């Protein structure tokens, strides 16, 4: 199976060299297979979110390499890393970073509007993604009027607006009940199977971990299985 991304002996340390140095990720080497779901499990503080941030090019490693298609992106310019994130990677965060005064469709369309896509086209694409996630009845509702689960769907739809190769999700079902989580996983599975989307997910939820094609477990900043 071809890989889309790899880490090689990656470390991420905070307060490096000081008395309070914390090694959040310690010598982790993982391979993310294209068109599959990779789940990262482990207790709070084990380094899951930090590893996602490294793979998503949101932070640089202290040591080691982050490769996409065998190109090392750990030390290239921030402009280049930003371009790769914008063109290839989608993110679902625990904190959704939605604008409560805007409607669902406006929030989802916003990334395209920032790229000078005409409003009508941006909102058409946004509507497609929201409908695919079961939000056809909420397109014109402001985020503040939506439930936690509905807000999470808006966040997911927005993450797909750049048609990413890789979707990185940190606790994607955190604001959803069991039924909504099952619907979300079904929708994501459809994108993996039909469009070849690669998903990397960190979660405490056993159902999410079992849903993945491949599971990694972290403890104390290291991969333990």
pLDDT in tens, 38-64: 999 999 889 999 999 999 999 999 999
> Does the structure show a pLDDT above 80 at 75?
yes
Question: Which of 221, 180, 184, 220 minimizes the C-alpha distance to 201?
Answer: 184
Beta-carbon contacts of 110 under 8 Å, excluding residues fewer than 6 positions away, are 99, 102, 122, 158
> Does the structure show a pLDDT above 70 at 6?
yes
pLDDT at position 155 is 86
The answer to whether 12 and 25 are in contact (CB under 8 A) is yes
> Could you tell me the pTM of the whole model?
0.86
Give the model's confidence band at 93: pLDDT under 50 very low, under 70 low, under 90 confident, else very high: confident
Residue-level length of the chain: 225
Q: What is the mean pLDDT of residues 173-195?
A: 79
pLDDT above 70 as % of the chain: 97
DSSP 15: S
Token match 């896509």: residue?
117
Q: What are phi and psi of 33, to 5 degrees?
A: -80, 140
For the chain, list the domains and their CATH numbers: 3-223 (3.40.50.300)
Q: What are phi and psi of 16, to 5 degrees?
A: -60, 130
The answer to whether 154 and 107 are in contact (CB under 8 A) is yes
pLDDT at position 189 is 87
């Amino acid at each position: 199976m071809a890989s889309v991304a790899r880490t090689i002996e990656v470390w991420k340390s905070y307060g490096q060299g000081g008395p309070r140095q914390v090694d959040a990720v310690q010598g982790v080497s993982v391979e993310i297979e294209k068109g599959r779901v990779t789940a990262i499990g482990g207790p709070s503080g084990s380094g899951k979110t930090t590893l996602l941030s490294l793979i998503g090019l949101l932070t640089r490693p202290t040591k080691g390499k982050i490769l996409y298609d065998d190109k090392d992106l750990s030390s290239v310019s921030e402009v280049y890393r930003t371009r790769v994130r914008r063109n290839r990677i989608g993110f679902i965060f625990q904190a959704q970073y939605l604008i409560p005064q805007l409607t669902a469709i406006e929030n989802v369309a916003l990334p395209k509007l920032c790229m000078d896509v005409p409003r009508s086209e941006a909102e058409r694409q946004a509507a497609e993604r929201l409908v695919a996630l079961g939000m056809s009845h909420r397109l014109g509702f402001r985020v503040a009027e939506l439930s936690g689960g509905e807000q999470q769907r808006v966040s997911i739809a927005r993450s797909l607006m750049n048609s990413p190769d890789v979707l990185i999700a940190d606790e994607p079902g955190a604001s959803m009940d069991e039924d909504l989580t099952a619907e979300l996983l079904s929708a994501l599975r459809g994108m993996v199977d039909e469009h070849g989307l690669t998903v990397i997910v960190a979660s405490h939820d056993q159902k999410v971990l079992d849903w993945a094609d491949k599971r990694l477990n972290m403890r104390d900043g290291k991969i333990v299985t």
